[in-house]
């Protein structure tokens, strides 16, 4: 077993023991690193390009509140149980095969994000070399480089964040200084959007959707937290510094530079050094993308075939797939990808939160097995109510035009799941009563 851990298995199919838990600072830096990165800068620039400053602020605020609430609740469950999202979902509404679907969704989404981030990283290298390095070669180098880092597990992710997060924040700070020096901040607050306008609903969905997968996979790293208080501060500081802080700076810079091209913005404000640090900061978010994707696939293989494949091997395979996606140009569909995630992912969190905190279907089994440091007995294979609730949440988010789609999908899925489970319990109770009378 120890050899498996050395190869990077990282408790992919078991609870994280108390002895392996880490200080809040280590977990928090990984969280901030997941938010204070190029993707958040891209999101802020996209909002700033299509909205006024205050429109972008409210879109960022509403989206961030959603993310904070979901991240804390599901992250708390992950820390309490010491389980990744994919594994935890087996005992929070989805069952063994339902968790496979969760694993597939998480894996596909995080591989997609890996491709988006790697495309930016690779394009940055191409520009830095003056075109001497062609994109396919650059993407292969950056993609496989990150893959090798992720093979060694969460502790290496934490070490990477300790270097990349401060460097990124220093560059963003310098960018703020440059904007304040060359432009009137008050005038930037009142300037119209330089590009095609976005509605508040679309903007908030882009914010919530842009990191909704990050909120849902919070247990993948909060399972290393020591308690719920650590999870609260980790998610709160991450939201304030990474989501709101970096995002709103990018909004100002997009208004100042009149473009949503992130590399161009950083070149104008911080020069090549700033652009290089920002581009290379994609390493830390791509670490998490690939890490969560590997956990998802490990769960898929275990659920379907009952084969425990080492996470390091899975990481290598999907790292190659993600690298190929970046070469194929997934970056061109960035905004559409964000909006789709904003509708697809929230139902997962809605169902898991309702089951774990309200219905507590497997809470007793989880509590008893946690004391022993083992997993509960096999859950149900799949819950049809869960699939109906998920479909209802997705449909509501997609078709209902009133409100914010990501919130609609989250609430609808949670309500449908709650009502559905209670209805089935009432029906089964009546059926059992009739049987006894007969």
Q: What is the 3-state secondary structure (H, E, C) of 162-189?
A: HHHHHHHHHHHHHHHHHHHHHCCHHHHH
33, 336 Cβ separation under 8 angstroms? no
Residue 218 gets which letter from DSSP? Answer: T
Greater model confidence, 89 or 289: 89
Quickly tell me which residue has 């520009």 as its tokens: 127
pTM, whole model, 2 decimals? Answer: 0.85
Q: What mean pLDDT is predicted for residues 219-248?
A: 92
State residue 36's pLDDT score.
76
Q: What mean pLDDT is predicted for residues 125-153?
A: 82
| Residue 220: HSE in the Cβ half-sphere, 13 Å Cα cutoff | 30
| Alpha carbons 291 and 315: distance in angstroms, whole number | 7
The SS3 call for residue 325 is helix
181, 272 Cβ separation under 8 angstroms? no
User: pLDDT tens digits for 279-288?
Assistant: 666 777 788 8
User: pLDDT tens digits for 327-384?
Assistant: 877 656 665 666 676 678 889 999 999 999 999 999 999 999 999 999 999 898 999 9
CATH architecture of the domain with residue range 2-334: Orthogonal Bundle (1.10)
Candidate from 142-151, 310-319, 401-410 with smallest mean pLDDT:
401-410
Greater model confidence, 152 or 238: 238
Cα–Cα distance list, 368 to 29, 225, 266, 274, 352 (Å) = 32, 20, 52, 51, 19
State residue 75's pLDDT score.
97
257-264: long-range pairs with CB below 8 Å, 24+: 258/194, 259/45, 259/49, 259/194, 260/42, 260/45, 260/46, 260/48, 260/49, 260/195, 261/45, 262/38, 262/41, 262/42, 262/45, 262/120, 263/120, 263/123, 263/124, 263/127
State residue 358's pLDDT score.
97
Structural domain spans, the chain: 2-334
State residue 438's pLDDT score.
57
pLDDT of 1 > 60? The answer is: no
In the chain, what percentage of residues exceed pLDDT 90? 33
Candidate from 6-20, 76-90, 93-107, 331-345 with smallest mean pLDDT:
331-345
307, 291 Cβ separation under 8 angstroms? no
The pLDDT mean for the chain works out to 84
pLDDT of 262 > 90? The answer is: no
In the chain, what percentage of residues exceed pLDDT 70? 88
| Alpha carbons 354 and 232: distance in angstroms, whole number | 19
Q: What mean pLDDT is predicted for residues 388-413?
A: 88
Binned at pLDDT 50, 70 and 90, residue 170 comes out as: confident
User: pLDDT tens digits for 177-228?
Assistant: 776 677 777 888 888 988 889 988 888 878 887 778 788 899 998 999 999 9
Contacts of 119 (CB under 8 A, 6+ apart): 139, 326, 329, 330, 331
Binned at pLDDT 50, 70 and 90, residue 66 comes out as: confident
| Element of type H or E holding 145 | helix 135-151
Q: What does the block give as tokens for 13?
A: 């199919």
pLDDT of 388 > 60? The answer is: yes
| Alpha carbons 428 and 19: distance in angstroms, whole number | 43
Sign of CA dihedral 194, 199, 202, 205: positive
pLDDT of 235 > 60? The answer is: yes
Binned at pLDDT 50, 70 and 90, residue 6 comes out as: very low
Q: Which residues of 351-390 are buried (b: 16+ CB within 10 A; e: fewer)?
A: bbbbbbeebebbeeebeebbeeeebbeebbebbebbeebb
User: pLDDT tens digits for 12-57?
Assistant: 899 999 999 999 998 998 888 888 777 788 889 999 999 999 999 9
Contacts of 89 (CB under 8 A, 6+ apart): 98, 99, 102, 348, 352
Q: Cα–chain-centroid distance for residue 167?
A: 22
Candidate from 1-5, 148-152, 392-396 with smallest mean pLDDT:
1-5
Greater model confidence, 77 or 401: 77
Q: Cα–chain-centroid distance for residue 243?
A: 12
Q: What mean pLDDT is predicted for residues 85-98?
A: 94
Q: What mean pLDDT is predicted for residues 87-103?
A: 92
337, 330 Cβ separation under 8 angstroms? yes
Q: Residue 20: how many CB atoms within 10 A of its CB?
A: 15
Q: Cα–chain-centroid distance for residue 47?
A: 19
Candidate from 51-65, 109-123, 140-154, 364-378 with smallest mean pLDDT:
109-123
pLDDT of 405 > 90? The answer is: no
| Alpha carbons 20 and 83: distance in angstroms, whole number | 13
State residue 222's pLDDT score.
96
Q: What does the block give as tokens for 243?
A: 């989501």
The SS3 call for residue 311 is helix
State residue 2's pLDDT score.
42
Q: Residue 312: how many CB atoms within 10 A of its CB?
A: 20
Q: Cα–chain-centroid distance for residue 37?
A: 13
| Alpha carbons 153 and 295: distance in angstroms, whole number | 11
State residue 15's pLDDT score.
96
Q: DSSP for 231-267?
A: HHHHHHHIIIIIIIIIHHHHHHHHHHHT---HHHHHH
Residue 197, by phi and psi: left (phi above 0), alpha (psi -120 to 50) or beta?
A: beta
């Amino acid at each position: 077993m120890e050899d498996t851990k050395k190869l990077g298995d990282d408790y992919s199919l078991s609870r994280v023991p108390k002895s392996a838990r880490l200080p809040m600072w280590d977990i928090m830096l990984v969280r901030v690193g997941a938010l204070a990165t190029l993707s958040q800068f891209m999101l802020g620039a996209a909002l700033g390009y299509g909205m006024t400053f205050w429109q972008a602020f409210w879109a960022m605020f509403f989206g961030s509140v959603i993310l904070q609430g979901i991240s804390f609740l599901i992250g708390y469950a992950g820390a309490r149980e010491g389980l990744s999202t994919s594994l935890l979902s087996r005992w929070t509404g989805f069952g063994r095969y339902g968790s496979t679907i969760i694993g597939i969704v998480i894996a596909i989404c995080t591989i997609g994000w890996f491709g988006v981030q790697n495309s930016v990283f690779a394009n940055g290298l191409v520009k830095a070399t003056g075109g001497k390095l062609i994109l396919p070669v650059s993407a292969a180098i950056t993609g496989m480089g990150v893959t090798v880092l992720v093979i060694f597990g969460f502790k290496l992710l934490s070490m990477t964040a300790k270097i990349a997060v401060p460097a990124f924040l220093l560059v963003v700070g310098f960018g703020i200084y440059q904007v304040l020096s060359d432009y009137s901040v008050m005038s930037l607050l009142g300037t119209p959007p330089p590009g095609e306008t976005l509605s508040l609903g679309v903007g908030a969905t882009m914010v919530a959707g842009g990191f909704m997968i990050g909120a849902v996979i919070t247990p993948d790293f909060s399972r290393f937290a020591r308690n719920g208080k650590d999870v609260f501060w980790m998610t709160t500081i991450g939201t304030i510094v990474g989501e709101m802080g970096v995002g709103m700076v990018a909004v100002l810079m997009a208004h100042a530079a009149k473009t949503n091209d992130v590399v161009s913005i950083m070149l104008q404000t911080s020069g090549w050094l700033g652009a290089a640090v920002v581009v290379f900061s994609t390493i830390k978010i791509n670490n998490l993308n690939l890490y969560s994707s590997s956990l998802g696939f490990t769960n898929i293989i275990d659920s379907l075939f009952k084969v425990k494949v080492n996470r390091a091997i899975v990481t290598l395979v999907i790292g190659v797939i993600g690298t190929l996606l970046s070469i194929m140009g997934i970056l061109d569909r960035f905004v559409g990808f964000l909006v789709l995630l904003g509708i697809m992912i929230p139902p997962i969190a809605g169902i898991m939160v309702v089951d774990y905190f309200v219905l507590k279907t497997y809470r007793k089994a989880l509590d008893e097995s946690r004391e022993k440091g083992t997993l509960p007995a096999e859950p149900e294979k799949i819950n049809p109510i869960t699939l109906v609730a998920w479909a209802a949440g997705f449909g509501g988010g997609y078709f209902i035009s009133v409100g914010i789609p990501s919130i609609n999908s989250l609430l609808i899925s949670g309500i449908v799941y709650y009502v559905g489970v209670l209805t089935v319990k009432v029906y089964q109770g009546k059926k059992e009563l009739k049987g006894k009378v007969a």
